[in-house]
Structure 1
Amino acid sequence: MKRLLFATLLTFGFTSHLLQAQDIELTDPTTLTPAEYQIMEVTVEGNKNTREQFIKNASTLVEGSSITYPGGDKLTRAISRLYRSGLFSDIKIFVTDRTSTGISFLIKVEEQARILEYKLKGIKRSERRDLEDLLVLTPGTVITESAIGQAKNTIRRFYEDKGYWYTEIETSTKEVEGVEDRVRLIFDIKPGERLEVKDIVFKGADEFKDRKLRRQIKPLKEDAWWKIFGKKVFKEEEFEEGKESVLTFYRENGFTDARILKDSVYTYEHDGLFKDKTGLKVVVTIEEGPQYKVRDITWDGNTVYSNETLTQVLGFEKGDIFNQNKFEENYSFGESSVSSLYQNNGYLFFQAVPNVTKVAEDSLDIHFDIYEDEIANIRHVSFSGNTRTHDDVVRRTLRTTPGNRYSRDAVIRTIRELGTLGFFDPQNIQPDILPNREDKTVDINYRLDDSQSTSNFEFSGGYGGPSIGVILSARVNFNNFSLKRAFEDGGWTPIPSGDGQKLSLGVQVTGTGYQSYSFGFQEPWFKGKPTSVGVNVSYNLLNYRGSTERNELFSSSVSMGKRLKWPDDYFSTQSIIGYQLYNIEGNSSFLADGTSSLLTFEQVLERNSVDNPISPMTGSKFTLSFEAAPPLPGFSEYYKLTSAYQHHVPIVEKLVLTSQVQYGYIGYFTDDKRSELNKFLVGGTQLQQRQSFLYDNIDLRGYPGGTTTSISPIVDGQKVAGTMYSKYSLEMRYPAVSNEQVQIIPYVFTDAGNSYLDFNDFDPFRVKRSAGLGVRLYLPVLGLVDLSYGYRLDGVTVPNSADVQPGNWEFLFNIGAPF
């Protein structure tokens, strides 16, 4: 059929997102009467990257369907749909043929440009790199208004998170020579002004001052002249978190109806140092409501525990201000809650349904309906994820045993015990509790993660001063060793592991003549029982170049440890039998030349409830040790008593406060066989003090170690070791980074300690003090590395040399766990 080129039907265009229809151009439009036609044919022109069938389908102009022409809205909707696809910048529809019953159309499109690349202008290189990681603009895709709008929103959010307000973004496209249908998309960015929060105002807050509420709205912070570290910028997510923290604070103080009516953030002019500046003001309007107190507490349905016991566990008395968070913690979630009380006694299916009723204007009645149900027994216990650790090692650690009644405490204790093994990531130990209400049983599965290596290689170096020189130390620790697999074919892959045994090999040398070699092995479960057996052998030699002084020590020991069930199962005991052979030649210190042998017996009693050996969050550790070298023929003698206590308390979130106290005393059975060996020196770190192997070295940050510069008594103008020591430490730390690859734990500390000549000289409050900061780094390969920078508040006298002056900083480096 002859094409009617003169009969252009419709031309549509978008201006400001409004569809406008052009006049229909016919030979005589007034002669046409709207009629219904059948679409005979639809053709497409102008499409280069878009399939023709896609355009037809999107237009809904389907061959064989009917359409009213002229008039109707089917053509208008067709163009609207095509525009909404975002693929075209111009769309026209023409009538190409028309009979008395049929009509044909031509859809002519002009495609949107596609991205060759995009450029970010007007910003710093570092910001450009960060934005490139956030923007999703793939080369070859169509440049649509939606894609550009999304990119702009991403850029604005990026700068809002940095505190920039009124960020302006202009976009443009630029054709690239030699590249058809591809353009360069350019974002011209003006980040605007970085504004700080200068004022936070609370309206409607009558019970608490703004200053107190500002402390609660953290992490949002208000700027002040003394806050010199970091910009106090506004971030939406911090604001939302802060508002919830304010409401939590109100609920903890009895205002359970408190709510935020509205909030606003706006810019305003404030006085600057030299001129007026623009800052942000945050206004929060609060409706406090009444402060509620507890009027009455009642229980119904309880037969196992009395009302008095349950009320005591709940932690509220009549007349107390109602703390909603404490209430929820004490009846349901906490380790000492009402739910825990029942579940620790087997009542897994227990339920406590609270009903808090408001009476009068400011009082609450609390009623609990208790559904105790029956005791649940453990049917099956399993574990998974231990790819490197043998099942027996995990199974012997479990505190939940099939056949026993369920205990929530036992599950928590199992998680703690598995975490302290050091073989599994404590954060990834997850118990799956699978109860079966019909037969009153429960299955427990522990999901473990031992993907990270527990073995590590420690290598360190340092400088111990002119008299010591360069210190080099290396140690390899296999913390999940398997002696059995070491003798099996294919057991070395690359290290025989999986039985939880510990094997360590170490060497330390210095440039001035110190050497140390050590070997240690420990079996934590001897013959399938919770009895540990260990063997340690070491050799130390100190022979400075150009000096007649030569000190040697051969040391060996056998130990046996056992868990105790009384007073509780956190207690353990360890018995150690040791032999030391000393050879001292040309010693310039207080020690006499010659050989000395010691046969020692040591008994250690310990209670350890810390939850993590590297960075404890909770728990305590108490150690009491008595060591004796009896006056046997041919042997030297002494007896030694030491005690140490540490306590870990979480302050807020992950911030932990640790306090430590240590005391020690060495005495003698007789006078004729006593020596200066194994007395106390204080100062430095264990890494430095290993060269002073003739003494018992107590580490103290901020002070150097060694026989000449350590904290110790002076007799006749010469340094000697003390028979008593005291040490105190206070540390606050925060695990800033904690993942499988690395742990970074910064801390601040204060240390104090001293070494005393005898009882007459002992004064627990006459100590050398220091304060400072440090960081612990835990790497699976290197183990725990401790770096501290301590400021000395007191000096140390050094006979015949320069004293260790107060008011100076001391950097110390150590390897090994501090607790």
Structure 2
Amino acid sequence: MTHIKHLCFSIAIIFITLGSIQISYGQDSNRIQIENPENLMPREYEIREVSVTGLVTGRESYLISSSGLRVGETITIPGDDISNAIKQIYRTSLFSDVQIFYERLSGDGVNIQIAVEEQPRLGQYEIEGVRRSHRRDLRERINLVSGLAVTNSVRSQALNTIKRYYAQEGYWGTQVEIVEQPNEANPNRVDLIFNVDRGERTKVREINFEGNEHFSDRRLRKSFGTIKQDRWWRIFKRHVYTEEEFEEGIANLKQFYRDNGFRDIRVLSDSVYIDDWRSKEGVHFDITVSEGPQYKVRNISWDGNTVYSDEQLTQALGFQRGDIFNATKFDQNLNFRQDDADVSSLYQNIGYLFFNVSEDIRVVGEDSLDIHFEIVENEIATIRNVTFTGNTKTHDDVVRRNLRTVPGNTYSRSAIVRTIRELGQLGYFTPEGITPDVRPNPEERTVDIEFGLDETQGSDNFEFSGGFGGRQIGVILAARVNFNNFSVQRMFEPGGWDPIPTGDGQRLSLGVQVTGSGFQSYNFSFTEPWLRGRPTSLGVSLSYDLLNYGRQRNRFFSPVQQGSTANQRNELISASVSLGRRLQWPDDFFSQRTVLTYNHFNVAGFGQIFDDGRADLLTVRQELERNSTDNPISPSTGSKFNISGEIALPIPSFAQFYKLKTSYQHHATIVGRLVLSSTVDYGYMGYFTESNRSNFQRFFLGGTELQQRQSFTNDNINMRGFPGGIGGQISPLDDFRNQIGGRAFSKYSLELRYPAVRSEQLQLIPYAFVDAGNTFDGMTSFDPFNVKRAAGFGARIFLPILGLVDLSYGYRLDGTDPHSQNQSGLQAGEWEFLFNIGAPF
């Protein structure tokens, strides 16, 4: 009984001395304090008021809403309502300390007070200890903005971003120190400084394999592809480990085995670790494989085929009895090949859209395969509707006339591929962005096709360039504006000039070129690719060229008066009309064009080509071309063949001659995006009678169009490594050691290029080349293997606003003959930098 009295007395003392409750949670410790409670038993109260203290930068309404404590609602004290409110406020990551007080009112009411201490806000941040380019890259990745609450989570996220960035570059031991200091402009904010020490690059030192019996470690490392071992001779290879590239390398390894017959290849284990290698710390890969047997094809059988015989299908599949099974070759030859020679294309190109083939590959014995195909041919499909979307500037008619899929025709997969090529060749849409959506309807045996188009930012461009063409030419300045999707019709429509009338696929070009040596050129051209709704092109062009050297030594054009002075002035007014059309035979890659050109010359001081005075020239040129390339700027597949004949009509007092030219180029993708291109050019020039022979319009090799334009009395052929221009080209010499141009020429080119950057804003295409060629005074001296050679490297840069610029740096392997007694010609063993505007293909 006495003990019970003492316990009651103690409880009474506690209730008398405690009157209110305070619950607070700190950032470093979760503490609950209870002071002067009137009653420790849980009881419900109505919230009459919620107030906030300690808030500096935030909104009071947001804080109260985050707590979940609302006026008019009831809470239980003591209970979980207050502690849950504190936890919810902490989840905003905006506060370092949160306390909640309440005061009991008369009846069942209570007033709540939330006291907070805010996290510091960010003023600005700096990244120290790294190069400027890395700072720029990191700022794009680090998600820090002024005014953001600087929490532990924010600091950790920024730190991890920096370490992850450098890990991708091979710096696994990157250390980052975060320094926090007050902001000078705003005392309520702090600045963060990230002191970065990236350390030493940790490269891949060893890639080791176990379990490989048929292939050496070296061969498997090569197949790995994405990551190479660090060796001094691998200057341009990547030696840095990333998880994504490692997984890609494992996939490449498995595919290599499958393409060599090992269908059961397994990677039993793979480990990545850092260890010392020849006193250097580096990343090591240990990969264990189980190869299994190497399978060979035994029997191939077909069932369900009526359109093609078993022999035809087996030939398309590309496997014979005893061949090693190649998984990639099998898939391509069955489903899709670039040349449409696969099994599926055989059917789908003649309308069998609903064709289906399933294979059954069975292992026979230890290492043989029997392959059986079950074919369901179904019915031929007819194209019902063809639509397209995404052309915002280009008119529908321009797109529609380039479609090879026409409603009512039999479905053909090759026609879809051809449509993509034709639309990509226009230059108005990104080739990668042309996506066909094929919607078959098996019940009605029809198909709808929709082409999604990604219109380029601008097919029009302004070209401006300058350079130095050598001692005889001087500074070259050229400017040209090209409207490649012009519309004459919209010129006369309200609102058509916005800012330029576009959309009909017409081409309008205006250009000017001047040099410090007295050369000026102005030209205009217009082309309508579809005349009156037919695949017939009409082109017109006008140009004016002036070459005025004043009075100076005439070293190149007047052998009769060697060393004398003359007033060298040459004017050319030229006009041409061309008419071309597409052909359907031998196939629809062919086209032909007829060009009628009139040239009027006003000549002084170029006596070896013309007598001083005026001269006229009227030529007709007939061209036949087959073009199956996939891209006008940097083809990756296809070929281009051109043959032309030109006649300077035998009109009295007009210059007379005839020319034959032919050119062939082939483009093939070797590995990945690496492309090999080869080109062969030949030309011959003859005369109707010996009496009208002259040095006019003969062949000169070397230089670029920018240099050659001022030599417009010649027929100039581009060739890298040789400067071109007056006196700088490859040409035969006359008895006075002057360049007179050739009546025949040969030229060969081999180019290896890689489209490094392909986007709407920029295309960058570095390349290496070998060029060879020569000119000859006639067919009696013509020797296709007697050539002047150059090798080097370059790059093509395409910007929508500037067009295509070609930069090359060539090393001459052969020199040219001296041009005169005072000139030594071009020396072998010298480098030559050239630049040009426009596509070479």
Q: Which residue of 1 aligns with 2:772?
A: 752
- Residue 322 of structure 1 pairs with residue 343 of structure 2: no
Which residue does the alignment assign to 1:809?
831
Q: CA offset at residue 169 of structure 1?
A: 3.5
Alpha-carbon displacement from aligned partner over 1:769-806 (angstroms, at most 9, x marks no partner): 00111111222232221111111111112222132111
Contact 1:44-1:52 at 8 Å conserved across structures = no
Contact map agreement 2:582 2:588 (CA 8 A) in 1: yes
Match of 1:768 among 779, 784, 788: 788
- For the Cα contact (< 8 Å) 1:631–1:670, is it kept in 2? no
Aligned residue for 1:279, secondary structure, equals strand
Q: Is the 8 A contact 1:456 1:783 kept in 2?
A: yes
Cα distance 1:475–1:761, how it changes in 2: closer, same or farther (>3 A)? Answer: same
Alignment of 1:245-324 (within 5 A): 245-271=252-278, 276-324=279-327
Q: Find 1:465's aligned residue among 464, 467, 470.
A: 470
SS of aligned partner of 1:225: coil
User: Is residue 709 of structure 2 the alignment partner of residue 690 of structure 1?
Assistant: yes
| 1:680 maps onto 2:683 in alignment | no
- The whole-number CA distance in structure 1 between the counterparts of 2:102 and 2:570 is 108
Structure-1 separation of matches of 2:622 and 2:185: 86
Q: Distance in 1 between matches of 2:52 and 2:458?
A: 64
1:361-372 equivalences in 2 (<5 Å): 361-372=366-377
Aligned to 2:245: 238
- TM-score under structure 1 normalisation? 0.89
1:363-512 → structure 2 map (5 Å cutoff): 363-512=368-517
Looking at structure 2, the residues matched to 595 and 55 of structure 1 have their Cα atoms a distance apart, in angstroms, of 92
Match of 2:571 in 1: 552
Aligned to 1:124: 130
CA distance 1:689–1:3, shift in 2 (3 Å): farther
**For structure 2, which runs of at least 5 residues remain unmatched after alignment?**
1-13, 552-565
Query: Please, which of 350, 356, 359 is the counterpart of residue 345 of structure 1?
Result: 350
Change in 2 beyond 3 A, CA 1:711/1:370: same
Match of 2:814 among 781, 789, 794: 794
Amino acid of the structure 2 residue aligned with 1:792: R
Contact kept in structure 2, 1:345 and 1:405, CA below 8 Å: yes
Contact 1:577–1:601 (CA under 8 A) maintained in structure 2: yes
Partner of 2:120: 114
SS of residue paired to 1:545 = strand
Contact 2:17 2:36 (C-alpha < 8 Å) held by counterparts: no
Deviating more after overlay: 664-673 vs 751-760? 664-673
Equivalent-residue separation in structure 1 for 2:213 and 2:748 (angstroms): 45
Larger displacement relative to structure 2 (126-135 or 39-48) = 39-48
Structure 1's 176 and 495: CA in aligned 2 closer, same or farther, altered over 3 A?
closer
Q: Which residue of 1 aligns with 2:230?
A: 223
CA contact (8 A) 1:114 1:139 kept: no
2:690 partner SS: coil
For residue 749 of structure 1, give the secondary structure of its aligned residue in structure 2. strand
| 1:735 lines up with 2:755 in the alignment | yes
Aligned residues with identical type, % of pairs: 52
Contact 1:399 1:414 in 2 (8 A): yes
- Deviation per CA, 1:648-696: give whole Å up to 9, x if none: 1111222211100000111122212222222111111121111221121
Shift in alpha-carbon separation, 1:2–1:107, aligned structure 2, 3 A: farther
> Which residue pairs with 1:529 in the alignment?
534
Partner residue in 2 for 1:574: 593
For the residues of structure 2 that align with 1:469 and 1:141, how far apart are their CA atoms? 59
Provide the residue aligned with 2:556 in structure 1.
Answer: none
What root-mean-square deviation, in Å, do the aligned CA atoms of Structure 1 and Structure 2 show?
Answer: 3.6
Pair 1:515–1:355, CA change in 2 (3 A): same
Across the two proteins, how many residue pairs are aligned to each other?
801
- Of 577, 588, 599, 2:618 maps to 599
| Counterpart secondary structure, 1:643 | strand
1:449 offset after TM fit, Å?
Answer: 3.5
Which letter does structure 1 place at the counterpart of 2:432?
A: Q
Matched, 1:135 2:155: no
Deviations 1:403-452 (A, max 9, x none): 11111111111111111122323232222222223322222222224453
Question: CA 1:777–1:201 in 2, change beyond 3 Å: closer, same or farther?
Answer: same
Evaluate the alpha carbon distance shift between residue 54 and residue 169 of structure 1 in structure 2; reply closer, same or farther with a 3 A threshold: farther
CA distance in 1, matches of 2:191, 2:655: 87
Cross-structure match for 2:334: 331
> What is the alpha-carbon distance in structure 1 between the residues aligned to residue 244 and residue 206 of structure 2?
18
Query: d(CA) in 2 for partners of 1:576 and 1:129?
Result: 54
Rounded Cα–Cα distance in structure 2 between residues aligned with 1:594 and 1:177: 81
Greater shift, 773-782 or 326-335, is seen at 326-335
- CA-CA distance at 1:142 after TM superposition: 4.2
Q: Which residue of 2 aligns with 1:659?
A: 678
Q: Is the 8 A contact 2:228 2:238 kept in 1?
A: no
- Displacement of 1:342: 1.7
Aligned partner of 1:5 in structure 2 is 18
Contact kept, 8 Å, 2:628 with 2:640, in 1: the verdict is yes
> Which segment is superposed worse, 385-394 or 787-796?
385-394
Corresponding residue for residue 555 of structure 2: none
Quote the residue 2:563 is aligned against: none
Residue 715 of structure 1: SS of its match in structure 2? coil
3-state SS, counterpart of residue 322 of structure 1: coil
Q: Offset at 1:400?
A: 1.0
Moved more, 355-364 or 761-770: 355-364
Amino acid in the other structure paired with 1:809: W
Contact 2:388/2:450, CA 8 A, preserved across alignment? yes
2:798 pairs with 1:778: yes
Contact kept in structure 1, 2:700 and 2:716, CA below 8 Å: yes
